[in-house]
Structure 1
Amino acid sequence: MAGARIRCSQAVQTPRREEPSGETGDAAGSLRELPRWIRFYLYGMHGLSLDVLLSSLHGVSNHRDPKLLGFSSPYLCVVHALNHFLLEKVYAQKKSFRGRPVVFHLVFYPSIYIGLQLLIGNLSTLTEQVRVLSGTQLAVHYLLALYFTQVFHRWVSRLRYRSSGPGDRGDGRPYAPQGLPGLVRFLFFGMQGLLDEVIFTSIFHLVEKSDRSLSGHTSPWSFLMYGSCSFVVEKLYLHLRFVRGWRTWQRLPIYVCFIYTWEFCCGLFLRQFGACSWDYSHYPYNVMGLITLLYLPGWVGLSLYQDILSNVLMRIKVCTKEGTDLGEERKEVNGELDSKK
């Protein structure tokens, strides 16, 4: 009897193991590598933004125009995306240069990068004469190669994508997961704004001037304007949808009113310095040539697209280490959850 009591007391005192709640598996399994379509989109925008920046700097050095007009095209956007995919493969060869990082970062990668840029330049001109880079262009491309290998590729390799997004809690309650940092979102929205303007102006040139090169223009000032405006509109989206529960048709008037106000204020400020790159004076229903109701359908469409982009960005997170293996990342997540338990 005494032995039975001891065994019973031991059984009572032995802590029962808790069944896994599934939180660990969900947290670890929900992260995966950034999908190709997102990388393609990001690479294209990034390359187009560099086109605009470099061409605007070249223009201001020659003409001293405060509008800082820069040029690119949807064609080049696609070419840059494909080029970045190739450079992504080249950057992955960094593992083969262990113990020799200087050779990879200062010689191997820049050589391939400059060769690809020279090839793209000759393909874009489509002339029989081979294009040769000048000393200044060679130096610029070399600096860009260092930027890619030291900053851009490292940053992209840290991005992970959640399989669950806003509103996927499962209990009917909407929620907004934490995504990219604010500065990164601002940069993304700024590049998106440059892409929007280049596409719009290229289509305008195609329709009005039959320009099949689809060359479009924009300005780095638009980068700041779109980046800041979209950043605020996203905050409105998060508050109006996830806090107040407003539907799309309720949010759209708020978006459009803010966009028109922001465009007017930014244009009025830039006009004081002769840096405003747009003038709607020849369009009907314009206010001081800075805004026009003729573009209302376009702003409505971009506002709807803004919500889609915000949902995508909320699925992306930045890992703490470059190229962190997903298995190691799951272990880190498991460790954090175990410590919380």
Structure 2
Amino acid sequence: MAGGDADGKGPAARRGGAARRPAGSGSGSGSGSSASAAGRPEPLSTAEAAAEAAELPAWMRLYFYGMHGIALDVLVSAARRFAASPDLRMLGFSSPYRCLLHLLTHYALERLYLQRRRCPSAWVFHFLLFPLAHVGLQSLAGRALPLSLGGGPGAPGGSGAPGAQDLALHYLLALYHSQVFLRRFLRLRCRRQLQPRPGAAPAPAPAPVPVPVPPGARAPAAAAGGRRRRPRGPRGPEGAPSKGLPDLLRFLFYGMHGFLDEIFFTFFFDVLGQGDRASSGHTSLWSFLMYGSCSFVVEKLYFYLHYSRGWRTWQRVPVYVLFIYLWELCWGLGLRACGACSWDYSHYPLNFMGLITLMYLPGWVFLCVYQDLLSNALWRVQYLPAD
């Protein structure tokens, strides 16, 4: 996408493992030095790291698409319910089935969007062809999965034929997809590890491959006995570690992921825990702010405790859980004071003020471990701004 190509087929060239030396730098003092340079990539600058990045793998794009589709479901259904009956809890609805449909329809729309240059008129593509495809796919998805969001008439995905209001909504969503979402989403790149050039002489001793190091993290010094030091990641022009996604995009990702977590949890809790034939899960728009801010802080804790302090998972998780319970309690107190709290655990054992309960401790532990995996995967993702 470098050079403003949103299709992911820009002229970014692949380099080998041997690092390019800047003009005017020393050439080394022998063949051993050159062999070492050939077998070990040097840290990349921010611009070089972008050139070394590839488009997001298909599984990662599908993951984003399913999560994004659920977020749109929650926003649309919450807005419809609030317009019909104002409720500060701002409840929204979706389901795992709709998540599957969203990732498939999003992927199909991506394939169509990448063919936009074949259309002689950009206006015809963005304002006619793409919206028609979007409306058609959403109508087919609604017939394939007749689930109504929130149970209201005319909700997206309902079993009835879409009315004029639904068609207008789908048209606006199509414009959002082509003009906002896909235009920026396809600028995301995934950093890959650098490999030595084919035919390069192997280094006498393999050196650690540089990996991204989070901001503020410091690599521990090498211990006695020849212990290998933690590899350092690509660094920017002033020595600071190169960033992945900007903080705002990371917050948006974690907020949407909070919607995904709650939709899946409430859906399976109703189906497996209470035996109800639930057609959808539910969450609150406030969850976007709660999960987005909480996961953002937990990510910072992970980078600090793991990279700077060297804490293992079993040492970090209790800190995460303690912070999450404190965060949930504070948000619950604030929302309850405004009449906007969407949860009440008073009927559960081991609860405190009906806002937190130890019944959900296993779920929080699982999400804490999964959060570390998300942080590692997300740190490889970069956003390439338009030129």
TM-score, normalised to structure 1, is: 0.83
Range 313-322 or range 225-234, more displaced:
313-322
Kindly provide the amino acid, as one letter, of the partner of residue 130 in structure 2: Y
Q: Match for 1:77 among 96, 99, 103?
A: 99
Secondary structure at the aligned position of 2:343 is classed as coil
How far apart are residue 36 of structure 1 and its match? 0.6
Asked if 1:169 corresponds to 2:198, the answer is: no
Residues 1:139 and 2:168 aligned together:
yes
Offset of residue 169 of structure 1: 2.6
User: Does the 8 Å contact 1:164/1:315 carry over to 2?
Assistant: no
Structure 1 residue 213: deviation in Å? 5.0
The aligned residue for residue 263 of structure 1 is 328
SS in 1 for 2:329: helix
Map 1:14-163; keep pairs closer than 5 Å. 22-23=41-42, 27=49, 30-98=52-120, 100-125=121-146, 131-163=160-192
Deviation string for 1:263-292 (max 9, x for gaps)?
000011111121111000011111110001
Listed one character per residue, the Cα deviations across residues 213-253 of structure 1 (whole Å, up to 9, x for unaligned) are: 55110011111100000001101111111112211111111
The AA in structure 2 aligned to 1:261 is L
Q: Which residue type is aligned with residue 79 of structure 1?
A: L
Q: 1:289 to 1:213 in 2, by over 3 A?
A: closer
Q: Structure 2: any 5+ residue segments left out of the alignment?
A: 1-24, 29-33, 149-157, 195-207, 212-227, 234-241
Secondary structure in 2 matching 1:125: coil
**Distance in 1, Cα, partners of 2:353 & 2:52:** 50
Displacement of 1:320: 2.7
* Cα-to-partner distance string for 1:46-88 (whole Å, 9 max, x where unaligned): 0011101111111111121111111110111011001111000
CA–CA distance in 1 between the matches of 2:357 and 2:275?
25
Q: 1:218 — aligned with what?
A: 283
> Which residue pairs with 1:291 in the alignment?
356
In the TM superposition, what is the alpha-carbon distance from 1:130 to its structure 2 partner?
7.0
**Given residue 172 of structure 1, which amino acid in structure 2 is its aligned partner?**
R
Residues in 1 aligned to 2:171 and 2:83: alpha-carbon distance in whole angstroms: 20
**1:212 positional shift:** 4.5
- Which structure shows the higher helix fraction? 1
Equivalent pairs, count: 305
CA-to-aligned-CA distance 1:192-216 (integer Å, 9 cap, x gap): 1111111111111112443455511
Distance 1:130 1:147 in 2: 24
RMSD of the alignment, in Å? 2.6
Secondary structure of the 2:54 match is: strand
Greater displacement, 261-270 / 135-144? 135-144
Partner Cα separation in structure 2 for residue 142 and residue 180 of structure 1? 30
Report the counterpart of residue 373 of structure 2 in structure 1: 308
Whichever residue aligns with residue 229 of structure 2, its letter is: G
Structure 1 unaligned segments of length 5 or more: list them.
1-14, 323-341
| Change in CA separation of 1:157 and 1:272 when aligned onto 2, cut-off 3 Å | same
1:78 is paired with a residue whose SS is helix
Say if 2:299 and 2:371, in contact at 8 Å, map to a contact too: yes
Letter in 1 for 2:230: R
Q: Quote the residue 2:338 is aligned against.
A: 273
Cα distance in structure 2, aligned partners of 1:17 and 1:275: 66
Q: Distance in 1 between matches of 2:147 and 2:70?
A: 19
- What's the offset of the Cα at 1:156? 1.5
The one-letter code of the counterpart of 1:114 is V
Contact 1:203/1:214, CA 8 A, preserved across alignment = no
CA distance, structure 2, for counterparts of residue 152 and residue 28 of structure 1: 20
* Residues 136 and 126 (structure 1), Cα distance of their counterparts in 2 relative to 1, 3 Å cut: closer
1:296–1:154 CA distance, 2 compared to 1 (3 A): same
Select between 23-32 and 213-222 the one with higher mean Cα deviation.
23-32
1:314 Cα offset (Å)? 0.4
| Cα gap change, 1:92 to 1:29, in 2 (>3 Å) | closer
Who is 1:329 aligned against? none
CA 266–75 in structure 1, closer or farther in 2 if over 3 Å, else same:
same
Shift of 1:97: 2.0
Worse overlay, 19-28 or 217-226 = 19-28
Against the structure 1 CA distance between its residues 231 and 37, is the aligned structure 2 distance closer, same or farther, given a 3 Å change threshold? same
Residues 280 and 292, structure 1, Cα contact 8 Å, conserved in 2: yes
Inter-CA distance 214–168: structure 2 relative to 1 (3 Å threshold):
farther
User: Which residue number in structure 1 is paired with residue 239 of structure 2?
Assistant: none
